[in-house]
Structure 1
Amino acid sequence: MKEKFKLVATVAAGLEAVVGKEIRNLGINCQIANGKVFFDGSVEVIARTNLWLRAADRVKIVVGEFPARTFEELFQGVFTLDWENYLPLGAKFPISKAKCVKSKLHNEPSVQAISKKAVAKKLQKYFHRPEGVPLQETGAEFKIEVSILKDKATIMIDTTGASLFKRGYRTEKGGAPIKENMAAAIIELSNWFPDKPFIDPTCGSGTFCIEAAMIGMNIAPGFNRDFAFEAWPWVDKELVQRVRDEAENQANYDIELDISGFDIDGRMVEIAKKNAAEAGLSDVIKLKQMRLQDLKTDKINGVIISNPPYGERMLDDKAVDILYNEMGQTFAPLKTWSKFILTSDENFEKKYGSQADKKRKLYNGTLRVDLYQYYGQRVKRNLS
């Protein structure tokens, strides 16, 4: 099997630079493209990136790229790739996904069927199996993906399994929750550091607070879950365990963090408490039922991150307008605090009552949203 792979981390539009920074922080060189970050590495790098990337969706192996303007070109291109270096005899190899954009080939089920046939034919030839006799697919699963963009095919194998946002701590979720990887990315885009107070005044199921605590304690986001590649027979289980043990040793469970989450909905606060307990962070995060208007604090230099109800998440527009207005009034006295508010409402600044210092376009699933960024006045803290 291969020693080194061409790899790609897939990522939501607008978060490519965040994931690029995470990969570089792991000591890996990378190149950023639209919705993707490319890098090279061994099985150890596959393990490390799956375990540590907070803002990415998945990590995939790029098996090959080639032009595919016809089904014959697609078949030959897939057939030519070195499948024997990835798929052992008996492997399951579903073509789990085909995506065609701005391409002559646009019938996705046909792209899947032809790609499957080409891989099967290559393996039959390599393993000297008679043609016409189907391969037994009883072993480990290797999910293959075919992406054709402007007549260029990219063939990949997913190493992750369930998307990286599935950390394993969410016992229940409320209406339209923010994904864990999007929450982590927004915290990384903010100017929060673990020595600053952190508040989410519309905490819902607690995702921002939990992600902040994991960042603050340097807990690997994938620590509590398994990945697809771990079932592959050529992956060294001891190596993966070593990467997991290293991650465990890098966590700082003794650091003092000041993280609070509030929500007007008592049921959501209970869900947030359950999720925090599942993540092992009950004693780290303060969660309480409270109206946004009642938020007051004497602390300085903190960070507020909020994903308030908006658009599809709340049917009553008038209630949203009132909430945004109250938010502006409640946050105004907190001069040294930075505020980061995620919403799809294009008139947010008007309703909030002041213009953001910076606005960043993001996508929460398919919904276009903006991250409104208000920076607090800097005050030197008395550290004595």
Structure 2
Amino acid sequence: MGIISPAERLTVPTDFCEPVEAGLLTVDLSALVSNWRKLASLSGGAECGAVVKADGYGLGQAAVMRALAGAGCKTFFVANLLEGETARALAPEATIYVLDGVVPGCAPRLAAAGLRPCIGSFAELEEWAAAGATLGRKLEAALHFDTGMNRLGFAPRMAADVVARARGIAPTLVMSHFVSSQLPADPINARQIADFLPVRAHFPGVLASMANSSGVFLPEKPYFDVVRPGYALYGGNPTPGARNPMRAVAHISARIISVRDLSPGDTVGYDGVWKAPRPSRVATIGAGYADGLPVSATAAPEKPAGEAIVGGARCPFVGRVSMDYVVLDVTDAPKGAAERGQWVELLGESIDVEALAARARTIGYEVLTRLGRRYARRYAG
């Protein structure tokens, strides 16, 4: 199936079966690959890996990994053992790092799948070395140093001790994680880089990695040997406050299943939180918070509501976002666009993930990773 235009996405092309579901998620794999190639081109010759945790940020780990591997991506990062085992089945020759590290008891399965845990404690180090001794070989791993996140990782001052105690494993990567790379003027970025440089010096010949999506755009250019973008691959903006340099990957459409006219004063939805200020026309679409639309996109005083594109017009959510439904005020939509069976855009070219997240007072990462499984899914490109 080729790339389909935004207009085609909204009308659902007739060259494939009309989905019986009331929601449609189209994943533009060519845009995903384009984003990966763009990030690779900006990374100063460093290898560009890909973070594919949380089911490929909600878009489908299998499709995402196949597309990226086909484009040349050779290194993937996942969160946990189960994601790693899935990744190994999808990409038998890839290098796969597990960000959780060595969770107690997981070492045998990590080793069996050829996964490389990101080790950040001496307890993990000992468990991984012991697993290698049982197998009669040194097992590969990343060594994670905490330069400010205070979440996972060795303290930088421990670098010499880590070198001494890591002789039972085979380090292939030394890494850290930015706290505020999306804020290029934040001085913590430069401080973290300064703290990481002496750590890296303790591991000559071992690859180093620090830059996430936003890290690729920092003025300090902290590319080192491997960059590991995630959010930007999937169309998220790695440069908040500036134009998004990435292409949209996720496109969500929903079908109108009911339309009705309201008189002034009529309310909509649970608790009657919205009251029609004029004669109004409203449309109910078959998607709600069970499909990943944030309940916080509900209209509230002094807060913008979520929106949908109906026939080219922006139509706000009215009433509460409920489990299965959202109601739209389509009073000002073009005639004929807001009718039963028509498709409306919730996420895509006109409403990007940042805009939807802002109107729900959340972040785009949450929007993507909570996309529901009830959507019909189309993979384009």
Same fold at TM > 0.5: no
- With a CA cutoff of 8 Å and minimum separation of 6, indicate the structure with the bigger relative contact order: 2
TM-score by length of 1: 0.30
